Structure 1
Amino acid sequence: MSILPTVAERRRQVLVGPLPDDFLRLIKPSSSSSEPMDPSAAAHVATPSQPAVYSFVPPNTRGRISVTILEANLAKNYGLVRMDPYCRLRVGHASFETPTKLSGGRTPFWNRIVHAYLPVGVDSIFVQIFDEKAFSADECIAHSHILLPPGIFNGETIDEFYPLTGAQGEGKEGLVHLIISFAPLEAPIAHPAYQGGPTYPDGSPAHQPTADAPAAVTGPAFTDDDVKAVKEMFPDIDEEVIRAILEEKRGNQDATVSALLEITN
């Protein structure tokens, strides 16, 4: 006699009946929670569109620039069958890319917003438009070196088309549509130093302050190999910026990588 269960026995073990309404569904948390919400959390929920506050600002930073890469009107379609364009934006040593617009052709539309820290002394950005290839290297079909409009440093938002350069000639490859704005860094609040102290009547011995022992000078908590390892993960970030973040994070590479991801995103 076979010990394997027959088809009829297997069917008798199957649960037959109506399924519950929440079968294979995630249970939504109840919105009527009796616990009071933290005021800061409530303010964050009330204003979801507020910009994120980054915990680290690179040294020699002038402010935060926002560039909306809306669209491009290209002079020619360089694809054999179709053209899949994407745009690369470089601000200082950091670079950002839009998603690829499949079959975008001569009029790709991206509508990608890029937030980046603007280093001191940088007064321009560099834009490149590539055609993504499936079996070969992506081809740069247009580029433009754009001087930042002076009006953005006075609080203005500039909405403008900028000419592109490529195989058709300088400024003849089409136009790219950008919206640029700038926000300066907020100056840190200087707290006045406490200068008060106990007073003594004339003739009474006052406490003589003793000189504190000098603090031991310690070297950095990371090595050049640590800097090199982080640099390999972020080749577009300047090495001095990586060193500054490693010093702030006391050599913690995981925290350093998280801070760099905040900068580049």
Structure 2
Amino acid sequence: MSRGGLAPDFLTITPTPQQLQQQHAAYPPQHHPQQFNPYGGAGGMDGSGGPLRWGVLNVFLRDAVLVKSYSLLKMDPFVQLQIAGRSARSATATKGDKNPRWNQTVSLTVPNGHSHLVLTIMDEGMTSDKAIAHCTINLEEAFTQRNVPTRPYDLQGKNPSEGSIQLDLTFLPGAILQANPVVYSSGDLFDPADYGSVPTIIMPQQPPPMMYQPQQPMRYNTQPSPQQDDAQRNQQALELRTMFPNLDLEVIRSILDSNNGNADTTLTTLLEMNEAHVDESST
């Protein structure tokens, strides 16, 4: 309808500031700002739309079932983990033998372009450690799913089948591991001073930075008391006696004490004594 010579805003109601505020409250603007993703990119993706393949991998080691014991005494297994030259290790499952339990998390840096985790179960010795079994895990599922639930992984070694190890994986894409990769425990007898400080993981994000700090484990005094040390040597002497029934238990214990409780050295000494006795008998 033509208004002739009337002003353009004739009959147009101009709302007051209070009315404008009420209108905005009743009808909020449809604005959805892009939220920052702490994992880097959109949903932890790289520039091409695929998942980021570098960051921090948390490996929760549960337990293992080994087919064979490669020690005359009970084995003391620990797990060595390696990704592209970067390595870390678990605490030792003392006398875990063929059924070691760790229940511990180990953190490792995953560099770009590397997608395989190598695990080696080692038997800790007084002078040197011995490899028992190993497996290689493809990390593609961890890259895409971020969380891989607990499952067994087959182990190989001297034989095609050496048992299995149970673990689960958590991948933090784009995260940075500040300290040297070490283990932190869920409550077993474990002193982090033996392995360094607990790692700090920084998630990539805008300032202020968000820190991922694993819970500091409780520190335990793992130094055996004299009573514990004496009981352990008695047990070692009894185990050695089963292999040398013709030797007096006190003789075995005396040799064990002279070797400062080193069962491997004591075993070597007893074998030499046994061979000498056999040679004398044959002559």
TM-score (norm: length of structure 2) = 0.42
Give 1 or 2 for the bigger CA radius of gyration: 2
Q: Which has the higher contact order (CA 8 A, sep 6+)?
A: 1
Normalising by structure 1, we get a TM-score of: 0.45
